[in-house]
Chains A and B, each alone.
Chain A
Amino acid sequence: MRASISSHEGCSHILLQMLTCASSPAEPVLYIVIMMAKNPKRCNSLLLEMLQIDKSFPGVHALKNVSMKLRSSEVLGLVGENGAGKSTLIKVLGGAHLPDSGSILIEGQSVHILSPTAAQQAGVSIIYQEFNLIPDLTVRENIFLGREKTRMGFVRATEEHRETLQLFSKIGINIDANARCSELTVAQQQTVEIAKALSVNAKIIVMDEPTATLTTQEVEHLFAIIRDLKSHGLGIIYISHRLDEIFEVADRAMVLRDGEHVGTQDINDITCEKLIEMMVGRPIESEFPKRAARPGRERLRAEELCRGRAVRNVSFSVRAGEVLGFAGLVGAGRTETVRLIFGADKPDKGRIFIDGRKTNIRSPGDAIRNRICLLTEDRKGQGLVLIHSCRENFGLPNLDRLVRGMFLDQRRERKEFSGFVESLKIKISSHEQLTMNLSGGNQQKVVLAKWLARNADIVIFDEPTRGIDVGTKYEIHLLMNRLADEGKAIIMISSELPEILGMSDRIIVMHEGRIKGEITDVENTTQEDILSMAIA
């Protein structure tokens, strides 16, 4: 029944398009009727079918008999918490993983996707969060990388250039084909990836968290491109944690939870709350748990912090039991400011007072000894040693407490970590599991555990919920509130305005390295208020 509805929708979409561009209304209707009679599958043709895909890794059953269908001219939103199996499913489709069982059909033909090259030949292109572009090559060279047009071994640059421009005009983008990829913005690089996918005649394009690092306008542009691709008959699988985007761009939403296919719903038949409930497996009352703020004495005060152009004369203070939010655009100097407080970078000038005492912080070690900790925005690059186990990562900043005489007390280390695994509900197969094999949410929980164990007085969260699923997000927010209630001073940097508004007791807005303003009456502030401060 559902299939027929969406096929109907697919047809009406084309119909609408043809009507709008037709000169006389009578002809195209006839034309469509004929077309449907001749090729009834054209509108709702099944592009991709993944049947009963099963995949296990040591200790994890990542996919349990998952089936999915993708039609042409359709955007399928794939949602689920971190670790639900979205990435694994996509990697099976892209040839990065071989499924233990199950089959894949593309346009009704059974295909064996044994390698990323095979996936490309079958018409599947995957655009990962980390792009596969070579920074020092030009846009054109990247697009034709590995399939250069040559004559007697020489590259025919003009022909490549012409084809690149054709491709760009097809999806309505305007990028210099001779620019080096390293000179492009993230959004431009993404469109180059899309163009590259089209140039190999991709029928199915998978986008994994495409908007994570884009600005609002860039997101709008991306959506325009996606709609355009859809109108060309392509099928798109769109993965995102931002549910508002799913509702804006997707036709259907498919939910995975713990490796199982929970359900696929037409986007018009489902509400946001219902979708979250399907993802998490239980209803969630509010994304931002409320808490009565009871700020105490001043814990940290920074005066006239400066570092190059990134941080200019920043002064602020944060009190015990308070959540101080830092808002601003990416590159406004928020991360740079907290790195100065944590001793990760050296300030050009400025003073830091802890509990009213002037304190010299020369290294992160100094900061930790002064009971400050920083959860960095870049978990993989700065928060974790990915090739080491969860336990070792947990122990790293705590080793000074975990020694007995000359040696490490590894039994106590295990015991303490077990406590956090339980209280934070970290999903790991063993303490010795490598952190590189964890989902983003669980990685963030391991980072949380290692810092919570220090029991610091000043806790700095830099983008604590970026790339993290709804359920874990809620848990992290609860935890921040609990820490504040315990009398700790919390600094939170976030680029998500709802999070800033929902969590902070006070908000500092930064712009180009300076503090632009401070908002104390958070209750009566809107996202627009903050945004206008952050931009102007």
Chain B
Amino acid sequence: MTRKLLSDYGMFLVLLLLCVLFSVLTLKEQIPEGSAAPARLIEQINNEFKKSDTILVVGAVNKDSASFVEKLGEELVKEGFNNTKVVVGVPRDLLLALDDIRAKRGGLAAIAISGDVTKWRVIEHIPEKYPEFSGCKVLAPKSYLWPDFLKRSNLLAIVDRIVVIAVIAIGVTMVIITAGIDLSVGSLIALSAVIGTLLMKKMGGLQAPGWVVLVGFLVGILSCGIVGGLGGFVVARFKVAPFITTLGIMMMARGLAFMITGGFSIYQVPRALPWLGQGRSLGIPNTVILLVVLYVAAHIFMAHTRMGRYIYAVGGNEEAARLSGVPVKFVIVFVYVISSLAAGLGGCIQASQLNTGTPNIGIMYELYVIAAVVVGGTSLSGGSGRILGTLIGAFIISVIQNGMNLLGIESYTQQVVLGAVILGAVLLDKAHSGGSLPGLLRKKI
């Protein structure tokens, strides 16, 4: 039982371990930010100061810090502290504000600051520079221990980094389960992105309404689907090796993307373009919603529909599948079309994230996608694999990259480590399916 769980979800365990590892390594003092944090500070000010005291509220110029400070100022005024002054800016703005108070010969009871401001060195120098304010208290939100890795913004960044690869990996998983391979997806990202954005530009550019973006996306995705269908046809009808077929398509699609744009990026795209890649619905990033919906749908498709079962059967034994009445050629064309459509969608997401269509995006992505699929437990020899495993595989890659960024490891080292981890993960998977890791090492080949 345990063994079965391990072999099915061993990679999930690896992902969890990686998360724990990076959480421990990036554990740091954190200071609350954002609009929800001020409550405790207000309570403190209410207890210690009179309503007539002058209180300076200082925040840095970034979204979290500013919203924290503005909320704090608002609440203080509401509580009756009418001499509250709010300053959002750089250290110099703080000094200017202090000069201003001194010029008016006012007193200063307290300076309330956001987490980011605690790092400003001017705060320490206030007593020497402004002896008249030496009695004022500096109030900051209380810090707590929390890993950088597990911060909401970082977790979202992990998803952002991997969403394109994860979406494409759905299609490539299906291709690999039929014992094929698809090398063209990286180039199709670029093709879809440039076709889509070029169309948007022609249909009104910056001022174009939202539906133009939708049309651009659909045309970009469908053109990829057509290219993929051709590739699938060549594989199914003429029995050309998928590796060669998709290698050819990879080169052709990349070349086409450069031809269409003349080698330049496409700007003057509609203002609605970033909605998919950067926008949020109900407070959740659209990319996350898209990822969840696609993976749930793909999982149900593979596990609970006839076509899903056919895909496994074709990969497991093509001849037996054919003699059981499975329309093998149709299945093969189908998976390449799905893979290309997914690559097209990936291109749209990428274009939306970058707010432009560029012919040189997605280079090497096919290899990251294949790595994600294989780390996720899908066998390159076909017939077995899981969609949700692929999602885990994609996250393992993204988490490793993210964790190393947080730890400040340089990018060349990162590549070495990533490569080693991919190999290690696959070995570990072999060990699970064929006994223990020591057993694997002892086994004579």
Residues of A within 8 A of B (CB): 115, 117, 342, 344, 363-365, 367-369, 374, 376, 381-388, 392, 395-397, 399-400, 402-403, 406-408, 410, 450
Contacts and interface: CB of A to CB of B under 8 A. Distances in A.
Contact of A395 (B309, B320, B383): B309
A115 B444 CA distance: 8
Contacts of A374: 323
A407 B305 contact: yes
Interface stretch (B25-33, B140-148, B311-319): B311-319
B323 A399 contact: no
29 contacts: A115-B444, A117-B444, A344-B323, A363-B327, A365-B325, A365-B327, A376-B323, A381-B319, A382-B317, A382-B319, A382-B323, A383-B323, A384-B317, A385-B313, A385-B321, A386-B317, A387-B383, A387-B384, A388-B313, A388-B316, A392-B309, A392-B313, A396-B313, A397-B325, A399-B306, A403-B305, A403-B306, A408-B309, A450-B324
A408 B304 contact: yes
A374 B319 CA distance: 13
Contact of B324 (A369, A381, A397): A397
B176 interface: no
Nearest to B327: A365
**Residue from B309, B317, B324, B384 having most chain A Cβ neighbours under 10 A:** B324
B102 to A, nearest CB: 75
B326 interface: yes
Contacts of B239: none
Given A363-B327, A392-B309, A344 B384 contact: no
B322 interface: yes
A85 B311 CA distance: 35
Contacts of B320: 381-385, 396
Interface in B288-306: 300, 304-306
B323 A364 contact: yes
Nearest to A451: B324
A399 B306 CA distance: 6
Given A386-B317, A396-B321, A365 B326 contact: yes
B312 A388 contact: yes
Nearest to A374: B323
Nearest to A388: B316
Given A115-B444, A406-B305, A408-B305, A368 B316 contact: no
A438 B48 CA distance: 80
Contacts of A115: 444
Closest 4 CB pairs of A and B: A385-B316, A397-B324, A368-B325, A365-B325
A384 B319 CA distance: 9
**Residue from A342, A386, A399 having most chain B Cβ neighbours under 10 A:** A399
Contact of A387 (B304, B305, B316): B316
A386 B312 CA distance: 12
Nearest to A376: B323
**Residue from A117, A381, A407, A450 having most chain B Cβ neighbours under 10 A:** A407
Contacts of A450: 324
Interface in B353-396: 383-384
Nearest to B306: A399
A533 B326 CA distance: 38
A388 B300 CA distance: 19
Contacts of A367: 325
Nearest to A402: B306
A399 B316 contact: no
Contacts of B324: 364, 368, 396-397, 450
Nearest to A399: B306
Given A368-B325, A382-B319, A385-B317, 18 more contacts: A344-B322, A344-B323, A364-B325, A365-B325, A365-B326, A376-B323, A384-B320, A385-B312, A387-B316, A388-B312, A388-B313, A388-B316, A392-B312, A396-B321, A400-B306, A406-B305, A408-B305, A450-B324
Contacts of A376: 323
B138 to A, nearest CB: 63
Contacts of A384: 317, 320
A168 B316 CA distance: 42
Contacts of B317: 381-382, 384-387
**Residue from B304, B305, B320, B322 having most chain A Cβ neighbours under 10 A:** B320
Nearest to B304: A407
A55 to B, nearest CB: 16
Contacts of B300: 407
Contacts of B322: 344, 363-364
Nearest to A410: B304
A406 B312 CA distance: 18
Contacts of B319: 381-382
Nearest to B309: A399
A407 B306 CA distance: 7
A344 B313 CA distance: 17
Nearest to A397: B324
Given A382-B319, A385-B320, A387-B384, A396 B326 contact: yes
A408 B319 CA distance: 23
A392 B306 CA distance: 11
B5 to A, nearest CB: 14
Contacts of A342: 323
Contacts of B310: 399
A222 B323 CA distance: 36
A106 to B, nearest CB: 21
Contacts of A406: 305
Nearest to A400: B306
A396 B384 CA distance: 15
A384 B309 CA distance: 14
A402 B322 CA distance: 18
Interface string B416-445: 000000000000000000000000000010
Contacts of B306: 399-400, 402-403, 408
Contacts of A383: 320, 323
A408 B300 CA distance: 10
B306 to A, nearest CB: 4
A455 to B, nearest CB: 14
Contacts of B316: 385-388
B426 to A, nearest CB: 18
Nearest to B300: A407
A481 B414 CA distance: 68
A117 B305 CA distance: 47
Contacts of B326: 365, 396
Interface in B141-163: none
B344 to A, nearest CB: 24
A430 to B, nearest CB: 12
Nearest to A375: B323
A399 B325 CA distance: 10
Contacts of B444: 115, 117
A407 B319 CA distance: 25
Contacts of A408: 304-306, 309
**Residue from B306, B321, B383 having most chain A Cβ neighbours under 10 A:** B306
A295 to B, nearest CB: 28
A504 to B, nearest CB: 24
A384 B383 CA distance: 12
Interface string B319-338: 11111111100000000000
Contacts of B309: 392, 395-396, 399, 408
Nearest to B312: A388
A253 to B, nearest CB: 35
**Residue from A369, A376, A397, A450 having most chain B Cβ neighbours under 10 A:** A397
B334 to A, nearest CB: 15
A400 B325 CA distance: 10
Contacts of A396: 309, 313, 320-321, 324-326
Contact of B383 (A363, A388, A410): A388
B324 to A, nearest CB: 4
A476 B254 CA distance: 58
